[in-house]
Every structure is written in structure tokens, then in C-alpha cells.
Chains A and B, each alone.
Chain A
């Protein structure tokens, strides 16, 4: 077998294996195959399956029936507006808080304690935060009690089982996420650039506006996108802390209800596809506007 292969290699030049190796395909490359197959089976295939399934309505009708039903039933199509009404303000608040704080924390020598505290709500997860906030923000909770002790309010504010409960939970879990991402981008910018600007007489605001902000913009766009898609797919806290039949009936609730309460997987998939499309639309819009800003090295000059 080997001898035959060798003989033909002399006659025909490099054999298939050698030609593949020259293009980077050899035994080592094959190591990627298990993970790739896994990803195709459990990620690409379900997505494609769900996409096709969404055009095969359970109740019959033509292929667009699910989508037509979604956009004609206010109980369904209003979930998009409800979700956007939560996700966009929360993401903006998180980002607007994260940027100045990241700029301050970057100067700190020992950031570890703060970053550790901030990583707590992310690792604890939305379910625990929802359970904690139910007590803490409730009418008898410490938050309202403190405000009343200081005389800021005379009656407890209603902060749970409505829009603000979900908003608070998205800030508690979302802000650390946004902040840590922003911090990693801010610390990636060479401080020498700021020092150069300061030497040339730029004020703090000018240094931020004309040196840091343009360099930071691509990173902020990515941060916005990642924070937004997280907030947009809010599920447990919208059920536990909001009013899942009213103002915080978000799109993931509608999708989960259709698929796992009405057992209409076709409709559930259709709503999941719409959810993905809205996310994609916002992400593409944000990333496209990134092209309007500076793109280039964020490290010091010299090579």
C-alpha cells in the first residue's frame, strides 16, 4: 500500500495528503471536527429547523400564517415594543454610567476588590437577583424603609411587579457586565496618548472628547450591542419581578408561552425568529454606524 502510494507520488507529484497539508489540512486540523460537528448539530441545525418549522403553522393555513398572526394580534406584536421600551433605556443607562466610572476606576491601583463585587450579580444570575429584589424593593423592604426614614417619600413606592422592578434587575445584572466590558476597552488605550494631549494643553473634557472617545467608539459600539441583546432577551426577572401579562410581557415570554404552554412549537419558533431578527437589526444598525468613527490603532505610536 505504502509502496504503491510512494510510486505514484513520484509519478504524479505530491499526493492528496501532502497537497492538503500544504493548505493547512492535516491530522491536527482534524481535531476541530468534533467541536464543529457538535456546533452544527446543536446550534446550526436547530436554528435551521426552527426557521423552517416557523413556516409550517400548526393550525394549518399558508406558510406565512404564524407571522401574520403575530403582527395582527396586539397581545403578540406589542411584546416587541414592550421589550424595546425596557432594553434600550436600560442599555443606555448602563452605558452612560459605565463610561465615567470606568474612566475613574482605570486610575485606581487596586481594582480587584471593586471588580470582584461587581462580578457577584453576574455569577449569581437573574433568578437570584429577582428573588432578592422582590424583598428588598418591596413595600416593606429596606429600600422603601430607608427613603421613608429620611422623609423623602411618605408612602412606599411601588417598585415590584411592574416596569421598574424589571428595570432595576436589568441594571443590577446589566451594569456590571457593561462596566467590565467598558473597563477592558478603556484600559486597552495607551495612557501616553492622553499624556501627549495634556502636554499640549488639552483640558480633561477635551482629552476625553477628542482623544479617548474616538478611540473608544468601536469598543463602545460592541459593548452596546452585547448589553442590548442581553437586556432584550430578559426572561426570568420579567416574569418574577414584572407583570408578565401586562407592561413587562416581553417577547421571550410570548415565545416560551407559545412553545411550552400552548405546545405550538411552530409559533414559538416564529416568535424566536422575530426576536432574533429584531436583535440583529439593532446590532447591524449600531455596528454600521461604527464605520462613521475613527478606526485604527489604540496603542502608542512607534511601530
Chain B
């Protein structure tokens, strides 16, 4: 490791750390603002609110029907996680183990929904879902959310499956395991850490997936993040603190899963999706 000790290098390092500090302080202050406001009785023109209360949580809970929204949110997420796990892992296994014509095209097909922002493909997708009558229903929301998550699981799992030696599977075959036993006793235990990591990432991303849910959700199929958007959008109708209480509930839901996920994955994996192909 090379350390520069000249004055210029030290000044430069100080400037870089100041920038990082400035960013982190603003980020934390922004989150603290939401939390403080949700516990405030009245907060106008002062550093801190006039008094503290928890009544906004009960009022937000009933006003926004958060219980229903939370149930829908977890049903959507559960369905998305299970389906993208099943579709993604099987496809990743085939792509990791076999070379065939058209494989590169297929990988590109799975890469595109991750590269193209959801707003761009979400509008034609929502149009199709409205035409088929799926939009506004529970399964419409699940289908829309699956579009980026299935490719995500595939691209995370391919390198993971590639590093498992195929000889292990061949050995199980030699000892007479059928496909089902091979999967249950050999592949699944070996793949479990990778599947767990991929699905936790899917979970965290789906809670925060706004655009696709927003475009296809109906009144009974809204997830928490979309309900939060409508609450902020109609700000003025309800007390700011009430909306902030809802935002805190959303934050807590997300952070619990983020903390669980971070025990199994590296923070950078949430962004970089999969090991980038060599360029």
C-alpha cells in the first residue's frame, strides 16, 4: 500500500473525507427529520418540536388502513420471492451448466430488464396488463414486480452455480441418485447460501420497488411504498406528522429486512447485481 505524506496529499484526503462526511451527515439528518416529525406534537419554526407524542402512529395506522396495506405488501413480496426463486434458480442452473446456441442472446434478454429503468418498460407493460384485465389485481402487481427480479436471481445465481464442481453431481449419479434426490440432497444444500442471498436481495428491492407497482396497482393491491407516495402526493389533506409516521413504519419494515440481508450479503451486491462480465 502506498501512502503519500506530502502536504498536498493530506489536504486532498481531508477534502475527500469532508465531502463524505457532509453527505453522510445530510443523509442521517434527513432520516432524523422524518423520525422526529413523526413523534412531534407541533413543529413549526423551531429546532425541535414543542412536545412529543406517539398518537400519530395510531392515527396513521387507521387513516391509511396500514394493516391492510401491510398484509398486501407482504403477500406481494412473498409471491415475488417464491416465484422468482423457482424460475430464476432453474434457469440459472441450465445457463451455468450447458453451452448451447443462442445462450448469449438469452443472457442478453435477461440482462435487459435490469439495465432498462422500470419506468421505460413499465408503461407498455402496464398497458398490456390493463388490456388483459390483470392490472389492479394482486397477480398483476406480482407479475409486474417479477419482470426485474427473475433476471436478477438468474444473474446472481449463474456465477454461484458455476463455482460448484459438476463432479459432485456426477458422483451422486454414480451412486444411484435420481434427479429429485440429486436436487434435494446434493444441489440444494450447496446452493442454499446463494439462493438465500439472492432472495433476500429480491425482498429488499421489492419492498422499495415503486414504479412498477405504482403503474399497475389498484386501490386494493397497493403496496406500502405506493400508499406512502399517494399520502405525500396529497399532502395538506392530512397532518405532516401522520405521513411521517407512515414513512417511519415503511422505513422500519425495510430496515429490518436490510439488516437481515446484510448478514448474508455484501452491501455492494445490492447495487452491482451480479459479477459483471469481463469487459
Contact = CB atoms under 8 A, between A and B. Distances in A.
Contacts of B228: 127-128, 131
Given A35-B90, A181-B272, A132 B127 contact: no
Contact of B210 (A39, A126, A134): A126
B213 to A, nearest CB: 11
A31 B33 CA distance: 49
Contacts of B79: none
Given A34-B87, A43-B147, A236 B229 contact: yes
Interface in A236-250: 236, 239-240
A46 B122 CA distance: 9
Contacts of B154: 35
A95 interface: no
Interface string A23-49: 111101111101110111011111101
Interface string B110-145: 101101111111011111101000000000000110
B16 interface: yes
A124 B208 contact: yes
Contacts of B211: 233, 235-236
Contacts of A210: none
Contacts, number: 263
Contacts of B270: 119, 122-123, 180
Contacts of A104: 13, 16-17, 20
A269 B123 contact: yes
- Chain A interface size, as a band, is 35 or more
Interface of B: 1-2, 4, 9, 12-13, 16-17, 19-20, 23-24, 26-31, 33-34, 37, 44-45, 47, 87-88, 90-91, 93-95, 97-101, 103, 106, 109-110, 112-113, 115-121, 123-128, 130, 143-144, 146-147, 150-151, 154, 204-205, 207-211, 214-215, 225, 228-229, 232-233, 235, 240, 243-244, 247, 250-251, 254-255, 258, 262, 266-268, 270-272, 276, 279
